[in-house]
């Protein structure tokens, strides 16, 4: 029994360190360097790489940080559950099964957390899109080129979409054509509204069509889409507000209205 507890604690120590050690400290860097050789040789079949790229984390180090955090939390939580159940004099098979279930639950929760971050970032980008496209339209209408207008937005605005424009500017400065950088941005963001906007910009740039008309049309569509999103959220909030009214306030009101009558009937019956 003491041997099992000792071995479990040996596994718990590295996992517990992952809870408190920051990625800038040397032990974490050593773990990352050791995982670099194996992570570079394996293929990502869970779709983590595309989702991290959408969050702006496209390097191999970002992928290793996520995997180390995910596996470390799973190992630490499973080991702590295993030690607790063994100290509580539970059966070894039940302890192993519960620790495995705990590890799987933590693994899924961290994956869901990444999905939630992506969803939140998409919502932020779509919320910023109408204002950003209006700024881009005004800058180009004032005589600036698309590159200078995007640079102005990237430097003056503070948001996820402005950072994406900054990535486009850096790609163009490194020698990549503008339409290819914009297409990469559209594939990276994974939003239907942004994808349509990027396609229109690329088509207008390659064919020499006036950008102001294209941007003005997309600005109107973006405002209409944002208004529809707000109305849909308001409709959901209205339905949610009806739940306490129907199941809490209305029954109490009916009870207060009927209680005197019921009391008088009981008095007459007695």
Interval 180-199 mean pLDDT: 85
Token pair for 149: 């207008």
Residue 30 has pLDDT above 50, yes or no: no
Interval 83-102 mean pLDDT: 85
**Which tops the pLDDT comparison, 49 or 170?**
170
Q: What percentage of residues in the chain have a pLDDT greater than 90?
A: 0
Task: Report the first-to-last Cα separation within the chain, whole angstroms.
Answer: 70
Q: What is the CATH number of domain 124-226?
A: 1.20.81.30
pLDDT grade, residue 4 (50/70/90)? very low
Place of tokens 């779709």: 47
Numbered ranges of CATH 1.20.81.30 in the chain: 124-226
Interval 110-136 mean pLDDT: 86
């Amino acid at each position: 029994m003491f041997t099992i507890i000792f071995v479990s604690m040996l596994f718990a120590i590295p996992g517990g360190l992952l809870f408190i050690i920051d990625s800038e400290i040397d032990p974490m860097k050593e773990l990352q360097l050791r995982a670099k050789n194996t992570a570079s040789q394996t293929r990502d079949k869970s779709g983590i790489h595309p989702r991290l790229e959408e969050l702006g984390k496209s390097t191999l180090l970002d992928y290793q940080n996520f995997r180390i955090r995910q596996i470390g939390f799973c190992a630490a939580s499973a080991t702590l559950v295993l030690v607790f159940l063994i100290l509580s004099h539970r059966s070894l098979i039940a302890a192993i099964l519960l620790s495995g279930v705990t590890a799987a639950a933590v693994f899924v929760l961290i994956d869901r957390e990444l999905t939630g971050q992506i969803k939140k970032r998409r919502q932020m980008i779509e919320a910023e899109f109408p204002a950003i496209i209006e700024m881009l339209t005004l800058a180009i209408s004032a005589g600036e080129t698309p590159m200078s207008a995007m640079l102005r937005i990237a430097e003056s605005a503070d948001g996820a979409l402005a950072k994406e424009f900054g990535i486009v500017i850096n790609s163009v400065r490194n020698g990549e054509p503008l339409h290819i950088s914009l297409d990469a941005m559209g594939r990276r963001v994974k939003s239907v509204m942004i994808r349509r906007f990027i396609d229109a910009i690329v088509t207008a740039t390659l064919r020499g069509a006036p950008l102001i008309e294209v941007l003005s049309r997309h600005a109107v569509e973006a405002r209409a889409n944002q208004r529809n999103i707000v109305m849909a959220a308001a409709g959901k909030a209205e339905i949610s507000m009806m739940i306490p009214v129907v199941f809490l306030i209305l029954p109490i009101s009916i009870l207060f209205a009927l209680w005197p009558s019921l009391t008088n009937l009981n008095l007459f019956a007695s």
